């Protein structure tokens, strides 16, 4: 296994030869920027109080998840 982490868009070619029969596959790798997250100041509520959380993503393919505790990534209610 070969692992690499490109930092710029690149094209790689993988060639495998079996019984003197080469097969090459070319991959174009695109690099997407790391998303930025903007937050507001911390809000505290007493037990039983409710808050509304909202989020928006500019790209419909972007996934947004809410977690109770980032160290235990189970999806909260």
**DSSP string computed for 23-52:** EEEEEEE--PPPPP----------TT----
Between residues 54 and 12, which one has the greater pLDDT?
Answer: 12
pLDDT at 13: 92
Between residues 52 and 74, which one has the greater pLDDT?
Answer: 52
pLDDT tens digits along 8-48: 999 999 999 999 999 999 999 998 877 777 777 777 777 78
Helix (H) or strand (E) holding 10: strand 10-18
**C-alpha span between 55 and 57 (Å, rounded):** 7
Cα-Cα-Cα-Cα dihedral sign, residues 57, 58, 60, 61: negative
**Mean pLDDT on 37-60:** 75
pTM above 0.75?
A: no
**Mean pLDDT on 57-69:** 72
């Amino acid at each position: 296994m070969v692992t690499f982490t490109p930092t710029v868009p690149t094209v790689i070619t993988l060639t495998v030869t079996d019984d003197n029969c080469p097969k090459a596959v070319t991959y174009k790798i695109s690099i997407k920027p790391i998303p930025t997250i903007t937050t507001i100041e911390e809000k505290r509520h007493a037990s039983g109080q409710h808050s509304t959380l909202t989020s928006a993503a500019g790209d419909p393919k972007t996934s947004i998840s809410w977690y109770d505790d980032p160290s235990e990534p189970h999806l909260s209610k």
